[in-house]
Amino acid sequence: MYYGAPIRAAGELLGVLSVNLPAGAPPTPEERDMIETLVGQAAVAMRNARLFAQSEARRRAAKSLAEISRDLAQALDPEILAQQIVDGARDLLQSQGAILLRFDSDLSEFATTATAGNTPAADMESPVALAVHNVAARAIRERRPVGVQDFLVDALLALPSDWGSHAESITDRALLAVPLTVQGG
């Protein structure tokens, strides 16, 4: 016989405790009470674990931001500063890679300034470069962060249809572009 008890905390379903009992032997009222007690304790433990994980993530993010801010305030060399920006962004977001593009308004194109980690977009021949540049252009145009879940299927990117297997072999296809602007600019 199967007996299932939902594990809930603050009205949210966190899971189900499933108990398989001998055939034809439903749980006694005492067994049900024990299962419900166990489910209640599991709900508290699961909720506490989630809250702790969220708290730790916020703490790590705050620590990373403080370190990045300190490093950026000390950097005077533009190349070192650019590298610290991409390293910090990659660490903060725990991403596979980060790239800092400089927009050359005279030539109306992007130039790679710094990269960190695995960044296929740094290879200008890569199909990823076009996607990154399109998202970056949109972020600059809209003067706000722009994110896409999957650059292969995002209708607003207007990417070539002939990318083929190379682009499809890329598993990390989410992109986030944040325009870096001078205050008042």
SS3 71: helix
The pairing of beta strand 175-177 with beta strand 146-148: antiparallel
Token pair 């899971």 is found at: 15
What does the block give as tokens for 5? 């008890």
* Alpha carbon distance, N-terminus to C-terminus of the chain: 69
Q: Is the pTM of this model over 0.85?
A: no
40-44, 79-83, 92-96, 169-173, range with greatest mean pLDDT? 40-44
Residue 16: closest CA among 6, 1, 29, 24: 6
pLDDT in the model for residue 40: 92
What CA–CA distance (Å, rounded) separates 54 from 138? 31
Confidence of residue 159 (pLDDT cuts 50, 70, 90): low
What CA–CA distance (Å, rounded) separates 166 from 179? 28
Confidence of residue 179 (pLDDT cuts 50, 70, 90): confident
Residues belonging to the chain: 185
pLDDT in the model for residue 26: 85
SS3 content of the chain, % helix, strand, coil (to 5): 50, 20, 30
Asked if residue 157 has pLDDT above 80, the reply is no
Asked if residue 145 has pLDDT above 70, the reply is yes
Mean pLDDT throughout 55-64?
Answer: 87
45 HSE (CA, 13 A, CB side): 8
Asked if residue 110 has pLDDT above 90, the reply is no
What CA–CA distance (Å, rounded) separates 103 from 136? 9
